[in-house]
Amino acid sequence: MRRENVNNMPETSRETETVERERDRQQRDQEHQTSRNVVSVISQLADDNLTLVRNISTGLAVAGVIVIARSIRVITKFQAASEIPARFIEGNVSLRGKVRSITERGIEVEHVPIYLPIISPLLSKHRDASTSPLLVHLAGVELTPEGKTWLQKNLVPPQTVWLKLISREDNMLHCLVSQSRGSMWSYCMNEELLRLGLARSAPIAGLPPGSPLYWRLHKRLHRAEVKAEKKGRGLWKEEGLWERASKALKDNPLLRLMGRIFRRTRAE
């Protein structure tokens, strides 16, 4: 009996280990199946609500862009100088616009804000259809009659211009007005008029005379005026010999006296 018990004990242990391993395997399979079921359920939910998730994400993104755009006013259409934020003037921000007309008061420009495909149409629905132009003055420039004529020929509505904001006085914007020449570069109308001798440099309204910006712009415009003076362009053009001689003769007192005597003699 003792020998049989000794021989049976190892067999009982092996059977127990086999049963435990089988139980562990079944438990692992069961856990694995449960995990797979959870993943499948989550994936199915994501697939079923993918459109909703995308719409929510898009809505949040659009709302965020609208908040940012409104905060920096990049999509706002300005219809008066008073509507432009002070930080735009202080930062010398450039605005894009279309020329409406050239008047005695200045250049009328319709502001064209930055266009965002989704947001701009939404905001434009809430705006009045009528628009008012901005009144723009060429900063640091005093036009001659010839300069005004040149400006009317070269700024024909609805050409696009860029307005670099310099200062603001009531409803007037003092700007550097630039126009594109081709796709690569543009030129400043303020400098061009001075360079052609069709304007004189003038104090820059709205800026303190001692400010760094004032002197930087003054030097830039004065440099263009000096070029016109050196080359004798426009109002700096020198009179020819015949023109100077004719003017000298007309201004001579003796010749004027002789002319009056001659006319009186002929009348008698």
pLDDT score recorded for residue 26: 65
Are 257 and 249 a contacting pair, CB within 8 Å? Answer: no
Residue 63 maps to a domain = no
In a domain, 200, yes or no: yes
Q: Domain residues for 210?
A: 81-121+131-236
Quote the pLDDT of residue 1: 43
Q: Is the pLDDT of residue 40 over 70?
A: no
- Identify whether the C-beta of residue 201 lies closer than 8 Å to the C-beta of residue 214: no
**Is residue 143 situated within a structural domain?**
yes
163 lies in a domain? yes
Lowest pLDDT segment from 8-22, 114-128, 200-214: 114-128
In a domain, 20, yes or no: no
- Classify burial at 241, counting beta carbons within 10 Å of its beta carbon; exposed 0-12, middle 13-18, buried 19 or more: exposed
Residue 26, in any domain of the structure? no
pLDDT at 52: 54
In a domain, 250, yes or no: no
Q: Is residue 53 part of a domain?
A: no
Pair 133, 100: CB distance under 8 Å: yes
Would you state the pLDDT for residue 75? 76
CATH of the domain at 199: 2.40.50.90
**Does the pLDDT at position 120 exceed 70?**
no
pLDDT for position 266: 65
Q: For residue 174, what is the enclosing H or E element? A: strand 172-181
Q: Which residues pair with 109 in a beta bridge?
A: 99, 134
Residues 6+ apart with CB under 8 A from 20: none
Q: Write the CA distances from 55 to 44, 47, 67, integer angstroms.
A: 18, 14, 18
pLDDT of residue 244: 53
Q: Tally the domains of the chain.
A: 1
Segment 184-238, tens digit of pLDDT: 678 899 999 999 999 999 999 999 988 999 999 999 999 999 999 999 999 998 7
